[in-house]
Amino acid sequence: MTPIEGISAPPTPNLLPKKQKFSRKREISLSRCEISRIDIEQISAVIRAALLTVIFQVTPMCVYFTEIYLHCNGAKESFDKVTPGAAAALALTRLITPRIHRRELLEIVTSMMNDWATQRDQRVRWIMKKYATLSRRVTTFTFFLVGVIVGVYIFMAISAVTAQASQLDHQLENVNVSRETDEVLSCVFRGESMSQAFMVVQAMQMFVTGILTFGTTSFFFGLAMHLCGQFDALAIKLSDFRVEQAHHAIAEAVERHCHLIRMTDRMEESFNANVLIYLFVTTTLMCIDGFMLIVSLKVGDVPMIIHNASVLLLMMIQLSFYTFAGDCLEMRSTALSYATYDCDWHELPASTARDIRFMLMRANIPHQLTAGKFVAMNMITFKDILKSTASYLSVLRVMLDE
């Protein structure tokens, strides 16, 4: 072999042709443009949603509170504006708080999707379907209730506009008709056309408020029911483990129990401020609308009786959803201690039985969904709220009779 043959040629880089390099750069630039276009579309969608929220929530809410502050149409009209104004403010808080806790909620929803995708036990899937069916029925009922309430509001608004128009037709010959018209229509809108246009915005605002309010309630209820089903599923796994496979089964059960505890804490962290605001607004509105119902019954105002009774029924039903979900989760989490005690722990080695004991001690501490971390949302709280509201209304009724 000659020296020249022994010298190997330096490796040449794998150079692409110019056309291939250009096409590859073009594909990269197109993909970047596509990603940026998707980001721009998402940002524009958020901006459109924010604008619609401002139009249909913030604007009517400002009008309501302005009319309450000006107080130009009497106490009855001012009280009528309290309920939709408070409902709009409550809907805004329910729109903002899930956005603040979006990471916690994303973790819970991802865990829920994994549970449905990986579960193969037919008994566990039957339990999960049972709780999912209950959640679906509650969601269907709540949105049906939204349609009924919004329909009642729209009907009452149309009836009020028709009654005002007929009353104005009979008063055209009166000299003070313009002054009376200004007093009847609104403190903010002095023209009839503007007042009727605001009626349309008000109807849309009630629809958006109902969707936001009951959508958040249904989402809360669905998450709570799924966690209840997972606690029941863990109880089934604990009751089925064998002694020869106890170490592996107990390790999986402890890991699953820690995961459920973490998901419950995430849910409590995400919703406790929202539930606290809702509880404060609900108790206040129940007292106000209950007082208006007593006054309406005394004077025989049928439309106001229907309005106040429907609002009270709506708030009590929604409050019952929160308290029932919290009560069910509290009972299912503590029921895990009975399933832990019923397993064959007495046949296990001492080291493995110690893990069972720790799990039993932790299961005895109930998982509570609270309002502001100090009011437990369960059926006892629901009963106390109803008793306090009834006591307050009975005092007001005695004052009216005197």
Are the CB atoms for 392 and 287 separated by under 8 Å?
yes
Mean pLDDT of the chain, nearest integer: 77
- State residue 357's pLDDT score: 81
The proportion of the chain whose per-residue pLDDT surpasses 90, expressed as a percent, equals 15
Does residue 396 come out as left (phi exceeding 0), alpha (psi in the -120 to 50 range) or beta? alpha
Q: Which two tokens stand for residue 9?
A: 């040629």
User: What confidence score (pLDDT) does residue 3 get?
Assistant: 42
Q: What percent of the chain has pLDDT over 70?
A: 74
- What distance in Å separates the CA atoms of residue 189 and residue 87, rounded to the nearest whole number? 21
pLDDT in tens, 94-119: 888 888 888 999 999 999 999 999 88
Report DSSP letters for 306-351, one per residue: HHHHHHHHHHHHHHHHHHHHHHHHHHHHHHHHHHHHHS-GGGS-HH
Q: Which two tokens stand for residue 340?
A: 């832990």
pLDDT at position 165: 58
- 322 neighbors 225 (Cβ within 8 angstroms): no
Tokens of residue 359, six digits: 């799990």
CA separation for the pair 109, 140 (Å, rounded): 20
266: which 2 tokens?
A: 């995430």
Residue 12 has φ and ψ, to the nearest 5°, of -90, 135
CB neighbour list of residue 194: distance below 8 Å, 6 or more residues apart: none
For 43, phi and psi rounded to 5 degrees? -65, -40
The more confidently predicted of residues 350 and 180 is 350
Average pLDDT rounded to a whole number, residues 378-402: 84
Residues whose CB is less than 8 angstroms from the CB of residue 159 and which lie 6 or more positions away in sequence, other chains included? 303
**Phi–psi pair at 147, nearest 5 degrees:** -60, -40
- Higher-confidence residue of 266 and 119: namely 266
Judge residue 29's burial from the number of C-beta atoms within 10 Å of its C-beta, 0-12 exposed, 13-18 middle, 19 or more buried: exposed
Q: Mean pLDDT over residues 256-271, rounded?
A: 92
Higher pLDDT, 137 or 1: 137
Task: Pick the most confident of 173-177, 257-261, 357-361.
Answer: 257-261
Q: Residue 352 pLDDT more than 60?
A: yes
Structure tokens at 68: 């309450």
Query: What pLDDT does 133 receive?
Result: 92
| Rounded average pLDDT over 349-353 | 76
Model confidence at 345, pLDDT cuts 50, 70, 90, reads confident
Q: What is the pTM of this model?
A: 0.78
pLDDT above 60: residue 332: yes
What average pLDDT does the segment 329-351 reach? 82
Q: For the residues 63-67, what does the mean pLDDT come to?
A: 78
15 pLDDT tier (thresholds 50, 70, 90) = very low
Least confident of 29-43, 219-233, 269-283: 29-43
Q: What is the pLDDT of residue 108?
A: 93
Q: Which of 24-38, 159-173, 311-325, 334-348 has the highest mean pLDDT?
A: 311-325
Domain boundaries, the chain: 103-170+219-399
Q: For residues 360 and 337, what is the distance between their CA atoms, to the nearest angstrom?
A: 5
Distances (CA, A) of 380 to 215, 323, 377, 387: 25, 8, 8, 11
Query: Could you report the per-residue pLDDT of 141-187, keeping only the tens digit for each?
Result: 877 877 777 777 667 666 666 665 566 555 544 544 444 444 444 66
Q: Is 15 or 40 the better-scoring residue by pLDDT?
A: 40
Any idea which of 79-83, 176-180, 230-234, 380-384 has the lowest mean pLDDT?
176-180
Could you give the residue ranges of the DSSP H alpha helices within 54-191?
A: 59-70, 75-100, 102-118, 122-170, 177-185
User: What is the reported pLDDT for 392?
Assistant: 83
Task: State residue 10's pLDDT score.
Answer: 47
Whether 64 and 81 have beta carbons less than 8 Å apart is answered as yes
pLDDT at 7: 44
Enumerate residues 6+ apart whose C-beta is below 8 A from 364. Answer: 334, 337
Given a cut of 90, whether residue 61 has pLDDT beyond it is no
Residue 227 has pLDDT above 90, yes or no: yes
252 burial (CB, 10 Å; 0-12 / 13-18 / 19+) is middle
Please say if the pLDDT value at position 226 is more than 70.
yes
* pLDDT of amino acid 202: 76
Q: What is the 3-state secondary structure (H, E, C) of 248-269?
A: HHHHHHHHHHHHHHHHHHHHHH
217/170: higher pLDDT: 217
SS3 35: helix
- Which position has the token pair 């940002």? 43
pLDDT for position 197: 72
262 pLDDT more than 90: yes
